[in-house]
Chain A
Amino acid sequence: MKKITSKIILLLIFLFNTNSIFASGAEGTEHVLPNPFMVLPFAILLLMIATGPLFYHHFWERNYPKVSILLGSITVLYYLIWLNDTHSLLHTAHEYISFIALLSSLFVATGGILIKVDRKATPLLNVIILLFGSVIANIIGTTGASMLLIRPFIKINKDRIKPYHIIFFIFSVSNIGGALTPIGDPPLFLGFLRGIDFFWFFGHIWYVWFPTLIVLLVVFYIVDSFNKEGEKESVNFSNKIEFKGTKNLLYLLIILISVFLDPGILSWVPNFSPLPFGIREIIMFSVVILSYKTADKKILEANEFNFEPIREVAFLFVGIFASMIPALQLIAYEAKVYGQQLTPGIFYWATGILSAFLDNAPTFLNFLSASLGKYAYDVNIKTQVHEFSELYPFYLQAISIAAVFFGAMTYIGNGPNFMVKAISERSGIKMPSFFGYLIKYSVPILLPIFIILYFIVYYGKV
């Protein structure tokens, strides 16, 4: 018990203690640490994202782009004028553009695909869909899998749909599912770009991924078995599965291939540095335009396609990415200061807690940098990152699992969470608020699973 208490104290110090001295950032570049008060715009933005839809819904709906840009701009101006640090801004801009290019291209390409399943909804069929979605999330990303399957999932369950259906969908397909490949979730993609083998994640995570997913789906199956709505209705089902918009599979393939078009992976790929985008992002944005222009209008209409969900993610995350720069730099610094005392368990909780409330991609990168620093490796040197992944896989596994799994804890933990929520609400399903999601679902269902996972895999490990 004493050991756990001391670890919690260390974790809290790690999360909240800050020092304004010279330090090395995630990129290994020397820069002045920001004033801890500069975390305020980020905290305000998170608070408003959490409370806006709940307490001042319509003000928030009308003004969230302005609020997000305003708060992000405060941080940008601070870095430009006070710190004279354009490097951090350009680096963040590049990560944001990569992030939004991947999300938007997957969103639009899958928006032109329609899957119809005419089968009776049963808990077992739902489990199969969630499992299938979790597996394909590793091939077309959690965003792609979510956009592809959320509508058929709602349609199948239309006579018995409840918010828990959507929430388990977010838990599994939109988050935990995508932990096995770099395409699955953006943080793993960043790790891949830094030198971790493509199949490292599968090799080191599957044996945690699989039981976690099974436990989650068993919980879902039990909950869903109590739902008897719609059972009395006598409807004839053809048991047919229809797939429309097959040409968009080609666009998905282009997106997947373009993921690897990075000058850091393939030397012949042109490097546009210092521009904050590359050929990959250009291809992905081209897919956005082409797949929308060439999509079957009937499919778009059936999917009630519109750009609002991705627009919302784009605006909110531009503010999040900009305003969280100080928070991430302070965390990276503290991680280095306390590096020797940090165990895989602490990395698991620190990465997890922050990934639940921040974007998990930069969070992952900073904790990767911190864990590398513990063994005097540099996150900017690919061979060192690769060596670290082979020699100290436990740390990397803890950070990767926490970054992906804990993204399911809140609506803002991962990009697809918001999109799935928006699509469900537009379909007439009343979704829980930010706190409702956290208190009624994440804390009672996910947190115990993550705690058990900690005790089985990371407790007592150094």
Chain B
Amino acid sequence: MSTLNDILKNNLHGMYYGNRVLLPVRIDILKAVIENDIITDFSSTKSGASYKIHDDFTEIYFYDYKVLSEVVKGFEKIKLVVVEKGKDIFDFTNHRKIALQVKEKHKITISEINEDTLLFIE
């Protein structure tokens, strides 16, 4: 199972189908920003977003969007504050900010947000 560092270092990509995102890493999500939506409540299975950590990947659903490629376009990104599974969630130094960019053929690129280049407030 890849770690977040492996993924970022090796430019491994995720996938999306419609409004479902699959990331090849086990992460807890604390905050998500998609378009103008700021999501911090992941408890619903009808609105906002929810995620599930599987053995080899993390699955996220964005319920309010049917097809992500129709809303996350151009230079826009989905932004997440995440903590790798197994790390202390209460230690803020373990909080990582990542950006997901929707590409062609169901690909999603994953990059770490550099505060110098992309604005994202935790």
Which A residues lie at the B interface, using CB under 8 A?
Answer: 57-58, 61, 116, 151, 154-155, 158, 161, 298, 300-308, 422, 425-430
Contacts and interface: CB of A to CB of B under 8 A. Distances in A.
A428 B120 contact: yes
Contacts of A428: 31, 33, 38, 79, 120-122
Interface in B59-77: 64, 73-77
A158 B115 contact: yes
15 contacts: A57-B37, A58-B47, A301-B118, A302-B118, A303-B75, A304-B118, A304-B119, A306-B75, A425-B37, A426-B33, A427-B120, A428-B38, A428-B79, A428-B120, A429-B38
Contact of A154 (B64, B116, B121): B121
A58 B64 contact: yes
Contact of A155 (B47, B73, B76, B115): B115
A429 B121 contact: yes
In the A-B complex, the 9 residue pairs with the smallest Cβ-Cβ separation, listed nearest first, are: A428-B121, A425-B36, A306-B74, A427-B119, A302-B117, A58-B64, A306-B76, A301-B75, A428-B33
Contacts of B64: 57-58
A58 B37 CA distance: 10
A258 B96 CA distance: 46
B121 A161 contact: yes
B47 to A, nearest CB: 8
A4 B32 CA distance: 51
B25 to A, nearest CB: 21
B41 interface: no
Contacts of B115: 155, 158
Contacts of A57: 37, 64
B64 to A, nearest CB: 5
A315 to B, nearest CB: 15
Q: Which of B36, B38, B76, B79 has the most CB atoms of chain A within a 10 A radius of its CB?
A: B36
B56 interface: no
B88 interface: no
A304 B75 CA distance: 5
B35 interface: yes
Given A61-B35, A116-B116, A426-B33, A307 B74 contact: yes
Contacts of A300: 75
Contact of B35 (A154, A302, A426): A426
Nearest to A242: B116
Interface string B79-121: 1000000000000000000000000000000000001111111
A429 B115 CA distance: 15
Nearest to B66: A62
Given A302-B117, A307-B74, A308-B76, 10 more contacts: A151-B119, A155-B115, A302-B116, A302-B118, A304-B75, A305-B74, A305-B75, A425-B38, A428-B31, A428-B79
Contacts of B76: 304, 306, 308, 426
A427 B115 CA distance: 11
A427 B75 contact: no
Contact of B38 (A58, A158, A430): A430
Contacts of B37: 57, 425
A426 B47 CA distance: 19
B75 A158 contact: no
A427 B121 contact: yes
A303 B122 CA distance: 17
Contacts of A307: 74
Nearest to A421: B36
A430 B37 CA distance: 9
A154 B120 CA distance: 9
Interface string B24-40: 00000001010111100
B119 A308 contact: no
A158 B121 contact: yes
Contacts of B73: 306
Contacts of B77: 304
